[in-house]
Amino acid sequence: MDELSVKALLEDLKKSDESVRDRATTELWRTWFNQKGDYGMQILRRSQVSQDAGDVRHALDLLTKLISDAPDFAEAWNRRAVLHYTQGNYKKSLHDCETVLKLNPVHFGALHGLGLCYAALGEYRSAIRAFRRALEIQPFALVNQKLILECTARLS
At 4-19, the pLDDT tens digits run: 899 999 999 999 999 9
CA-nearest of 51, 128, 62 to 85 is 51
Local confidence band at 129 (pLDDT 50, 70, 90 cut-offs): very high
Measure the CA–CA gap between 140 and 156, rounded to whole angstroms: 26
Measure the CA–CA gap between 155 and 148, rounded to whole angstroms: 11
Query: Which residues, 6+ apart, have CB-to-CB distance to 30 below 8 Å?
Result: none
What is the model's pTM? 0.94
CA-nearest of 107, 118, 50, 106 to 78 is 107
Residue-level pLDDT at 4: 81
Residue-level pLDDT at 156: 79
At 61-111, the pLDDT tens digits run: 999 999 999 999 999 999 999 999 999 999 999 999 999 999 999 999 999
Instruction: Write down the domain spans for the chain.
Output: 3-155
For domain 3-155, the CATH superfamily is: Tetratricopeptide repeat domain (1.25.40.10)
| DSSP calls for 62-78 | HHHHHHHH-TT-HHHHH
Residue-level pLDDT at 16: 96
Local confidence band at 126 (pLDDT 50, 70, 90 cut-offs): very high
Measure the CA–CA gap between 101 and 7, rounded to whole angstroms: 16
At 18-61, the pLDDT tens digits run: 999 999 999 999 999 999 999 999 999 999 999 999 999 999 99
Local confidence band at 1 (pLDDT 50, 70, 90 cut-offs): low
- Cβ–Cβ under 8 Å, residues 117 and 143: no
